[in-house]
Amino acid sequence: MIRNLLFIMLGGAVGSALRYITGIACQSVRWLNMPWGTVVVNITGCFLLGMLLGLGERYTSIQKDIYLMLTVGLCGSFTTFSTFAADIFRLNETGHFWLALGYLTLSVVCGFLLFVFGHYLIVK
C-alpha cells in the first residue's frame, strides 16, 4: 500500500506541474474569452485516461503501481474531470444509463451551485 501511495504521489506531482504549465501556455489564447487552459487540460486528460483505462483492460500485465501512478496520480492531479468522465462511462457501460445521467447532472449542477454558494459566503 505504501509503495502504491508513493507512485500515486509521484504521478500527482507530474500531473499538477503539467496542469500548471498547460495553463500558462494557454494564457495567450484569447479566442472567445474561453478559459482555454482548463478546456485543454480537461479534454486532454479525458483522452489520456481513456487510453490508459483501455490499455489496462487490454494488457492486464501492467504493473499495478505504474498503472496507479498514471491513472490516479498523473490524470487525477492533471484533471479530475477525466475521472468524472470515466465514472460516467463505466456506469453507462454496465447498463446504468439513468444513473450515469443522474451522476452527470448532479455533479455539474450541484458542483456549480456549491461553488457559487462558497464564493458568496466569502465575498458577501
11-105-107-48 Cα dihedral, nearest 10 degrees: 10
Residue 62 sits in the same domain as residue 101: no
Q: Could you list the residue range(s) of the whole structural domain that residue 48 is in?
A: 2-85
**Total domain count for the chain?**
2
Question: pTM for the full model?
Answer: 0.76
In order of 20, 63, 84, 100, 110, the CA distances from 5 in angstroms are: 22, 14, 21, 29, 30
Residue 124 pLDDT > 80, yes or no?
A: no
Residue 76 sits in the same domain as residue 35: yes
Residue 54 sits in the same domain as residue 105: no
Residue 26 sits in the same domain as residue 72: yes
pLDDT reported for residue 111:
83
Residue 40 to residue 95: CA distance in whole angstroms: 30
pLDDT reported for residue 5:
96
pLDDT digits (tens, 9 = 90+) for 80-103: 788 889 899 999 999 999 999 999
pLDDT reported for residue 118:
86
3-state secondary structure 94-114: CCCHHHHHHHHHHHHHHHHHH
Q: Please, what's the largest Cα pairwise distance for the chain?
A: 54
**List of residues 6+ apart from 6 with CB closer than 8 A:** none
pLDDT digits (tens, 9 = 90+) for 60-73: 888 999 999 999 99
Residue 81 sits in the same domain as residue 117: no
Closest by CA position to 35, among listed 17, 23, 47: 23
Residue 33 to residue 107: CA distance in whole angstroms: 25
pLDDT digits (tens, 9 = 90+) for 7-53: 999 999 999 999 999 989 998 887 877 788 888 898 998 899 989 98
